[in-house]
Amino acid sequence: MTYITDMKYKEAPLLASHRLVEASDIGAKLARLRRARKVRQVDVAARAGLSRSTAALLEKGDPGRTLAQILRYLEAIAPGVSLLALLQESDPSLKALAQAEATQRVR
């Protein structure tokens, strides 16, 4: 008898579509926080003990990434920032980025 835990599988087909949207949203928020903090993806990945390709998957919202990977990546970007703060986008650097984007001059 083969159990689903005995083999590799993709998470996406096992999740409801709204959960995939949530995973994508978390990834986008991680990427936005990283850009707001002006840190390169490769540097954050190294600090988190992840490969750059795993970091890219995290930022894309791949549902196959673990909570531990997400939390390590968040800690590498912004030490001390909670997952709740990420989801609420309450970090001051995100507010500064939003303000800078709103006031950019259009050519």
Question: What are the tens digits of pLDDT across the range 16-68?
Answer: 888 999 999 999 999 999 999 999 999 999 999 999 999 999 999 999 999 99
- Mapped onto helix, strand or coil, the DSSP state of residue 80 is coil
Whose tokens are 């709740």? That residue is 84
Closest C-alpha among 67, 64, 42, 66 to residue 55? 42
- Cβ–Cβ under 8 Å, residues 48 and 76: yes
In the chain, the amino acid numbered 104 is: Q
pTM: 0.82
Tokens 């920032």 sit on residue: 81
Question: Token pair 């390709």 is at which residue?
Answer: 53
Query: Is residue 3 over pLDDT 60?
Result: no
Residue 37 near residue 44, CB atoms below 8 Å: no
